[in-house]
Structure 1
Amino acid sequence: MRQARQYTAELIGSFLLVFFGVGAAVAARVEGGVVVVALAFGLVMLALVYTIGPLSGSHVNPAVTLGVLLSGKISLPGAVAYWLAQFAGATVAAFALWVLTRWGGVTDQTGALGSNGYGAHINLGGTILLEVVLTFLFVLVVLVVTSRAEHAGFAGLAIGFALAAAHLVGVALDGTSVNPARSFGPAIFEGGDALRQLWVFIVAPLAGGALAALLAPLLTSADVRYRDTER
């Protein structure tokens, strides 16, 4: 029963993150749009950490789940179930946004349902590097702050700010993914270049998440040793 609730939480959380975050991109005015989108993603993520975090960990991102899996904190079957829930939630959210832009009278300010893409402001190689680094930052913050019980009450702030910072850098370049599910949903309904380029926004964030899982123990272990020398 608890596992079913965890998967449901991930589905709902992924839906909310994509609906509000990508929805901000779709509806944001051109002036100040980057800041609006960054705040939308960051604030929703912050809220989700405190809302569903105690139940599912509030991954709502396949790259985060991969990082947690490689850290040995979730089983492979559990991770697969999380991934299915995350992609499903993001797809339903993208469908809702698609309905709003097609029949709800909402003007799509992005012209592409808030999907990720490269070519206009950054090339393929730059996009891969950007997404790996941005996702590395985000997943690293998630893994490190959630490993420190003494700072658990502030974990949501660090995670939310990290996601907002990633979007401040990446929105104007490739729309910022750092989350394969976030990229998948809009691309499915937008089609065209968004769908053809989707692989980049799945592979690069997963690589960034894996790199974060590899290096996170170096930071957390150092933190433990430092505390031990103070005693």
Structure 2
Amino acid sequence: MIGESRKYLAEFVGTFVLVLGGVGTAVFAGEVVGALGVALAFGLSLLAMIYVIGPVSGCHVNPAVTLGLLLTRKIEPRLAGGYVVAQVAGAFIAAGLIWLIATGAPGGYEPSTAGLGANGYGENSPAGYSLLAGFSIEIALTALLVLTVLGATHRSSPVGFAGVAIGLVLVLIHLVSIPITNTSVNPARSIGPAIFVGGWAMAQLWMFIVGPMIGGALGALVYRGIHTADEEITAATAESALPDEQIERTAT
């Protein structure tokens, strides 16, 4: 059995890598690679971590994903709380490292104006989108992310391909919403940079916590609506195909 401390460490490392890879690309190379490059950086970072820490912690690296798994009873409440703390800590340390490196650039770096990859709406949205627009897209796309995580890791899904599906959907999510909010769908990812930017980023942070958490719950609800009856039918069908003695062993 894998100890809880190892799971927390895995979530810390995974979230650190996600923020360093994704936000780091936005800060250091965003003007070079554009939105597509940043989207790929987030997706590839998550894809890699799924295979690195997935066997240890499940690679949530996102409080909204942890909430979705909690609501579908795939993680215990006590463990979920520890996951969220580890995720926020990993994002904070990664954002701090990005800030430290950025300040070494010629001419310096001012997070409050440069943004440090923080999320925002209104005048702080990359394309000036409103609070309502940002809130709506964060809920919808976080629901899509959580639904994909739950579906790709379903027991009937092809083994070994979950990371590909989840990584690709995160790329898609960023392509859709970078112009709107700079893409959060992950409260930990938003908290890290916001702490170092301060000011407007901290004032608007609530939306990038509340929106994704609502989206995570919505994704779990949709998943349960799609899969609950299907799982019962699948289980009944599978059981009817088993020899009587195997059914008895399965039941015990």
For 1:189 and 1:107, locate their aligned partners in 2 and report how far apart those are by CA, in whole Å.
Answer: 12
Cα shift readout 1:133-164 (whole Å, capped 9, x = no counterpart): 01010010001111134413100000000111
- Tell me how far 1:215 sits from its aligned partner: 1.2
Count matched residues: 231
Displacement of 1:15 after TM fit? 0.4
Do the aligned residues in 2 keep the contact of 1:26 with 1:107 (CA within 8 Å)?
no
CA displacement, residues 85-112 of structure 1 (integer Å, 9 cap, x when unaligned): 0000000000000101113558689810
The residue aligned with 2:21 is 20
User: Is 1:169 equivalent to 2:172 in the alignment?
Assistant: no
| RMSD of aligned residue pairs (Cα, Å) | 2.2
Q: Distance in 2 between matches of 1:102 and 1:31?
A: 19
Match of 1:97 in 2: 98
TM-score by length of 1: 0.93
Q: Output the CA distance in 2 between the equivalents of 1:166 and 1:148.
A: 25
**Aligned counterparts, 1:21-60, within 5 A:** 21-30=22-31, 32-60=33-61
CA distance in 2, matches of 1:22, 1:176: 10
Deviates more, 1:93-102 or 1:119-128: 119-128
Q: Alignment partner of 1:152: what SS?
A: coil
Where 2:159 maps in the other structure, the secondary structure is: helix
Partner SS state of residue 177, structure 1: coil
Determine if the alignment matches structure 1 residue 119 to structure 2 residue 126: no
> Secondary structure at 1:84's aligned position in 2?
helix
The equivalent residue for 1:132 is 139
The Cα of 1:185 is off from its aligned counterpart by 0.2
C-alpha distance in 2 between matches for 1:108 and 1:39: 26
Rounded to whole Å, the distance in 2 between the matches of 1:40 and 1:107 is 22
Q: Does 1:201 align with 2:208?
A: yes
- Provide, for residues 181-207 of structure 1, a one-character-per-residue CA deviation record: whole Å limited to 9, x for no partner: 000000000011111000000000000
* Whole-Å separation in 2 of the counterparts to 1:124 and 1:56: 34
Aligned to 1:148, which of 150, 155, 160?
A: 155
Identity of aligned residues (%): 49
Moved beyond 6 Å, runs of 4+:
106-110, 226-231
Asked if the contact 1:6/1:56 (under 8 Å) is kept, the reply is yes
Match of 1:179 in 2: 186
Q: How much does 1:40 deviate? A: 0.3
Runs of 5+ consecutive residues of structure 1 not aligned to the other structure:
none
The CA deviation at 1:219 is 2.4
Secondary structure at 1:147's aligned position in 2? coil
Greater RCO (Cα-Cα under 8 Å, separation 6 or more)? 1
- Cα 1:48–1:130 change in 2 (3 A) is same
Amino acid corresponding to residue 148 of structure 1 in structure 2: R
What secondary structure, in the 3-state scheme, does the structure 2 residue paired with 1:58 have? coil
The answer to whether the Cα contact below 8 Å between 1:41 and 1:163 also exists between their aligned partners in 2 is: yes
Quick check: 1-10 or 135-144, which moved more? 1-10
Rounded to whole Å, the distance in 1 between the matches of 2:172 and 2:154 is 21
Task: Quote the Cα distance in structure 1 between the aligned partners of 2:118 and 2:161.
Answer: 31
Please report how far the alpha carbon of residue 217 of structure 1 lies from its aligned counterpart in structure 2 after TM superposition: 1.8
Q: Structure 1 residue 228: deviation in Å?
A: 7.2
1:80 partner letter: G
